[in-house]
Structure 1
């Protein structure tokens, strides 16, 4: 089966990858990590740079889990890209996303990517927070 991780180059995105690795090991699943964005500007929020992708490759390689990294920058909404991939991958066990605390006003004004994924997904979604107790 497949575990799908929605990745952004942030502490939350890295926490999602770490959790995805743990789950892939536990279930002997394939880990698919997706980074998606509109792709209109090189510094678009949430879009991984080539350096971010290289770091991700090293993390996944050292984890020794079967994995694939995808980056979609084709003008579509990242949430839609993630949900479409989950639907197209018929053996998706779960979607893993990182989340951060936001104020109610922030959610109202900016919307909530995590909320959209959770509500619209056909498969279970695990929302992972950064463990602030871990020493860096």
Structure 2
């Protein structure tokens, strides 16, 4: 199973595209996780119902088995790491943002935590220019 840390922006879209490609290459399923700490009204990366419908359409057209989870009131990194503890999880795919010189020293807190703590491989991708 490929775990995709999805955000409702171009970085999440890049993660979704690469995650689907990996799932097709490995002939496995996909688990998409789009979570929020609970402030979903101000969390621009928490997908709306229409955005989730679009994600499901992309996954359906890719002809891969999939599950979409949208937990509320949770820490995103913890949710992704918990998914990577599953016996069938092979790879975690996340989108990362470009950073200025200072920001390059520190990735986003979620990205940094999953890269450092994931027990299995993490693929960090950027959107096409």
TM norm structure 1: 0.86
Pair 1:115 & 2:112 matched: yes
| Cα offset, 1:111, TM superposition | 4.6
2:60 and 2:104 map into 1 onto residues whose CA distance is 36
2:124 and 2:98 map into 1 onto residues whose CA distance is 12
1:16 alignment partner in structure 2: 15
Pair 1:33 & 2:47 matched: no
2:79 and 2:123 map into 1 onto residues whose CA distance is 17
1:129 alignment partner in structure 2: 126
| Cα offset, 1:77, TM superposition | 1.0
TM norm structure 2: 0.91
- Ranges in structure 2 where 5+ consecutive residues have no aligned partner: none
- Ranges in structure 1 where 5+ consecutive residues have no aligned partner: none
| Cα offset, 1:45, TM superposition | 3.0
| Cα offset, 1:106, TM superposition | 4.0
- Give the SS at the match of 1:92: coil
5 Å-filtered alignment, 1:79-98, equals: 79-87=77-85, 89-98=86-95
Contact in 1 for aligned 2:34/2:46 (Cα 8 Å): yes
1:113 and 1:104 map into 2 onto residues whose CA distance is 19
Aligned-CA RMSD value: 1.8
1:8 and 1:57 map into 2 onto residues whose CA distance is 14
With over 3 angstroms needed to count, the CA separation of the structure-2 counterparts of 1:131 and 1:109, relative to structure 1, is closer
> Per-residue displacement from partner, 1:79-107 (whole Å, max 9, x unpaired)?
111111211x2111110000111124446
1:56 alignment partner in structure 2: 55
1:70 alignment partner in structure 2: 69
- Give the SS at the match of 1:68: strand
With over 3 angstroms needed to count, the CA separation of the structure-2 counterparts of 1:111 and 1:59, relative to structure 1, is closer
- Give the SS at the match of 2:90: strand
